Chains A and B, each alone.
Chain A
């Protein structure tokens, strides 16, 4: 029993000093990312909490639950050999795939903002499309790393499962997560050196599916068009983006200071999730944004370094997959908030409020750190694992 308590300890772990320097650095960077995100979330969500829940810390409290669960998962993953984690990934993918389809069943799926993405679990809700991200990375890495040794039977089965997953997320509807997952899978496949003709034909297929989705859900098309000219309908479709732009822009050089965002008071919609970056940039200004971008670049660079230093292809692919999910998703979120990309509902990893999102992000970060640990100096962890099991 006592041995499991260590999983509750965030980041500070006596074993850390035995890790590779990349793993240690990533461990601390993740910790910083999480803390900065949490501070931003407190600031962004406080007014909303006061108005809607009569408790300024309502959202923080829920997010902390997510962080506790996420840190447990993070510690398990960083301490378990990747090999073992990989073993449960097919089961997890299939299980979460089932849940994704369950969200579309009326009575089980919970509808928020016109999309069925959640399964209600008492006061909390499960968002399988978030939770599946780390397992998709694992499974894709596992599949594509061995691609050339597999029969078309197996390849086909897994490709079908991936396609079903994407389709399930798409019909929720959640185009942005579908696109993110699709692009991540594709990039993992690219890194796995799959033949270009296969890669290109898959990407063509994906694009045509995206086109079809747009054709079926005009609201997505409106979003895509309106990010270009939000001022055409400032009270309607353009409202979210305009408020976000006003928030970001009024940050100026140095920002208004922590907690002093005007826009978060209630003009800015979904300020604790999709548009949390707008609050961050209003409060910390251009300098704060520059630091955040540099931070993400640093994180991505180290993730890539881990990928290239890794000893097996599967590890490399896992690292790349995590990098794409964490860094890519952050960049897309920022791009959306700044009006550089169409408005989509992607959370900012470690910043946005969302129990599922924070658990998934911590799991992803854990996988990356695990890969880093297994980098060149494998002997230390080997020993630890022997102790534990």
Chain B
């Protein structure tokens, strides 16, 4: 190969030399080119032909945004179709963080806070939780007054990142009625949002916080829809591509009867306590009143500190007294008698003497009239609520048998009603006592105490109602529930018919000539019941009355409980039961059923 070098003519390379150095460089370049062409060609086949469709979708996703549209929450209706909770339109203010320019945020934030009447820190927190790059609107206030709307428009220039829109807020047309059952709704807080993000919840989403609103959240909530928008890379909207309408939440019907509920709440008045009314055959709860109450509408918009203080003044208005445990007192004697008869030790025809007091290991269990009633059977002992009669039965069958029957009736465990915050009450036993009392064992005194519904025993008004229902329906423990037509379990307690009929006779006698005389009125069908007066030192006594009616074909069980009311079950709680019963059996109410 000649390499004369300069830009003079060189000879065209001869064939032999082509295979030497010159060709090496040629092959080198050919190799590099082939490598590059091959690599690129393979890559293009892979990208465009194999992945083409998938990436086409990705490019589409790139240019579309979904603006979420919230679903309308389902209504809550009572058993006759009366609306208990619904959704109402109101003017709401939304913040659009993306439109907000950081510089004057502080100052403008305070302007907005002033208009809305909320602390600026609240506003700050909300935006921080969402992040300043949050893609959609953050609801900041609902139920705006016309003055507030005008003010927002007036300050438009400062707060152009605020949108006023018609929003939906939860509305409870009955106000405070059944507030413990309905519960209330509120926005998810940051912690909850984090926890429930996987379920599709978003910032500002309204969820049930208590009661049925919370238990049946999954039915009421509905599904988010969305507006599909075409946007450019900077997020500017080019066009609307389509709408995926949100799926409305389901309406649910609950077993509550507004009229009965109203009567129960009226009967309770401002007495701290609870009234439960239920159907003894299917366990559907017709009314569950508890005082103090609250207005769930408060929570539909932002709760101001004043409102909160106002609420707190009422004690604990969120506590559902029907689900808290109290000493069941003499209402528990039904359990004692069941144990007596079912154990075989004290058959239905048993007659026992009653005394001024029962001496159990040196402790005196006094008869409430301090004299005794002379010899009596189950029916008389229930009618007069004899402590010494039931003390003897309890002592005779023993603690274990008593505890067994208490638990059979459902005491000591939650009924499973669809409400949060239910307590199990307490049916103590030896093990429990040893755990809690320095290893002291169960004594006969404990048994006797239990047999009259005192001592460690506590029961919720709802549990007491379940017990009365079991007598009314001839021996089935029903499961109280709130959702209409819910399939629930019914547990057969396998009571002897004689036990049931004896108990029924006894309870009927209570109304007919005993402590429950207040119910013995011609305006009501014949009923049966049992009073209870629980000592609750240092306060006044708690009073109870549980009843079912009509006696022959029971339709309703009503239990009233008044905390620290003073007086007696027959004089304080029985009139409450009567009031509810009157409403229930009032022809207009009943016919509509």
Contact = CB atoms under 8 A, between A and B. Distances in A.
Interface of A: 82-83, 86, 142, 145-150, 187, 190-191, 193, 243, 245-253, 262-263, 265-267, 281-282, 285-286, 289-290, 293, 297, 300, 304, 311-314, 320, 324, 327-328, 331-332, 334-335, 338-340
A311 B2 CA distance: 12
A194 B4 CA distance: 13
A249 B10 contact: no
Contacts of B49: 252-253, 286
12 contacts: A86-B7, A145-B7, A149-B6, A187-B28, A249-B47, A249-B48, A293-B37, A312-B9, A313-B5, A328-B32, A335-B40, A339-B43
A96 B37 CA distance: 32
A144 to B, nearest CB: 9
Contacts of A190: 24-25, 28
Nearest to B13: A308
Query: Which of A265, A286, A313, A331: most chain B CB closer than 10 A?
Result: A313
B5 A146 contact: yes
Contacts of B33: 297, 300, 327, 331
Closest 10 CB pairs of A and B: A266-B233, A249-B55, A146-B5, A252-B52, A193-B21, A250-B56, A149-B5, A286-B48, A250-B59, A338-B43
B7 A187 contact: no
B500 to A, nearest CB: 72
Contacts of B22: 191, 193
Contacts of B233: 265-267
A312 B3 CA distance: 10
A327 to B, nearest CB: 7
A300 to B, nearest CB: 7
A312 B10 contact: yes
A82 B48 contact: no
Contacts of A83: 7
B62 A289 contact: no
B587 interface: no
Given A148-B3, A285-B48, A338-B47, A252 B40 contact: no
Nearest to A315: B7
B55 A335 contact: no
A151 to B, nearest CB: 12
B147 interface: no
A293 B41 contact: yes
Given A187-B29, A338-B40, A265 B63 contact: yes
Contact of B3 (A193, A246, A320, A340): A193
Taking each of B1, B6, B26, B33, which has the highest tally of chain A beta carbons within 10 Å of its own beta carbon? B33
A312 B62 contact: no
A106 to B, nearest CB: 31
A293 B34 CA distance: 12
Contacts, number: 143
A128 B5 CA distance: 29
B54 interface: yes
A345 B478 CA distance: 77
Contact of A147 (B3, B52, B59): B3
B38 to A, nearest CB: 10
Find the residue from A146, A250, A282 having the highest chain B CB count within 10 A: A250
B5 A246 contact: no
B12 interface: yes
B47 to A, nearest CB: 4
A142 B62 CA distance: 52
Nearest to B11: A311
B45 interface: yes
B8 interface: yes
A338 B43 CA distance: 7
Contact of A331 (B5, B26, B36): B36
A312 B55 CA distance: 51
Contact of B48 (A265, A281, A297, A327): A281
B39 interface: yes
B232 A265 contact: yes
Interface string B362-387: 00000000000000000000000000
Contacts of A150: 5
Contacts of A304: 26, 29
Interface string B291-319: 00000000000000000000000000000
Given A190-B25, A340-B40, A249 B52 contact: yes
Interface in B18-76: 21-22, 24-26, 28-29, 32-33, 36-37, 39-41, 43-45, 47-49, 51-56, 58-60, 62-63
Contact of A250 (B40, B45, B55): B55
B3 A313 contact: yes
B488 to A, nearest CB: 51
A245 B54 CA distance: 11
Contacts of A300: 33
Given A286-B49, A312-B8, 11 more contacts: A146-B6, A148-B3, A250-B55, A250-B59, A262-B63, A282-B59, A289-B48, A313-B3, A314-B6, A327-B33, A331-B36
B232 A286 contact: no
B234 interface: yes
A263 B59 CA distance: 7
B47 A148 contact: no
Given A247-B59, A252-B49, A311 B10 contact: yes
Nearest to A150: B5
Contacts of A249: 47-48, 51-52, 54-56, 58
A334 B48 CA distance: 14
Nearest to B53: A252
A340 B48 CA distance: 14
A147 B10 contact: no
B10 A313 contact: yes
Contacts of B36: 328, 331-332, 335
A311 B12 contact: yes
Contact of B47 (A248, A320, A328): A248
Contact of B7 (A147, A312, A320, A324): A312
Given A193-B1, A312-B7, A250 B39 contact: no
Contact of A253 (B7, B52, B60, B62): B52
A256 B352 CA distance: 99
A294 B62 CA distance: 32
A180 to B, nearest CB: 13
B25 A187 contact: yes
Contacts of B63: 262, 265, 267
A148 B5 CA distance: 7
Interface string B251-295: 000000000000000000000000000000000000000000000
B234 to A, nearest CB: 6
B63 to A, nearest CB: 6
A147 B234 contact: no
Contacts of A338: 40, 43-44, 47
Contacts of B48: 248-249, 251-253, 281, 285-286, 289
